[in-house]
Amino acid sequence: MTLHIRIRPNSGLPLYRQIANEVKAAWLRGYVRPGERLPSVRELAAELGLNPTTVVKAYDQLDRERIVVRRQGQGAFVAGGDEPLLPEERDARIGELAQELALEGRRLGFSEKDITDLVRRKLLELRPEEGGAANDKRSTP
């Protein structure tokens, strides 16, 4: 498995969220499959030049969202999809993210159309046939 993680230190988005988002995008694109082992916390932290605590936070978030399963002493693995989020959990999570996007977009001066156009572009980028862009920092376990 090759997992490419792109980190933008000056983006304003916490590094742990960037890591979690990159893993989720790889999962949606089919670059990682259920049961595959993700890099260890130490491996990924060393590769990205980050504090291991940052990677732990990312893996914790992915675990809460049931994207990964963590096994004591074995590492983090891509979930098999057999434990999906409950509908109310899904609705709450996407609602929080939509609110955050709307607030930050308006704060930065984007119009509603600009924000919705950006969301459409990002959804298109997640299509498996589209592939990924060049990475700033990568992890190749």
What tens digit of pLDDT does each residue of 29-73 get? 888 888 999 999 999 999 999 999 999 999 999 998 888 998 888
Indicate whether 14 pLDDT > 80. yes
Contacts for 38 with CB less than 8 Å, ≥ 6 apart = 3, 23, 32, 44, 59, 68, 75, 76, 77, 78, 141
- Residue-wise pLDDT for 118-139, tens only, equals 999 988 888 876 444 433 444 4
pLDDT score recorded for residue 129:
61
Q: Does residue 4 or residue 101 have the better pLDDT?
A: 101
The pLDDT of residue 140 is 37
Pair 5, 50: CB distance under 8 Å: no
What's this model's pTM, rounded to 2 decimal places? Answer: 0.66
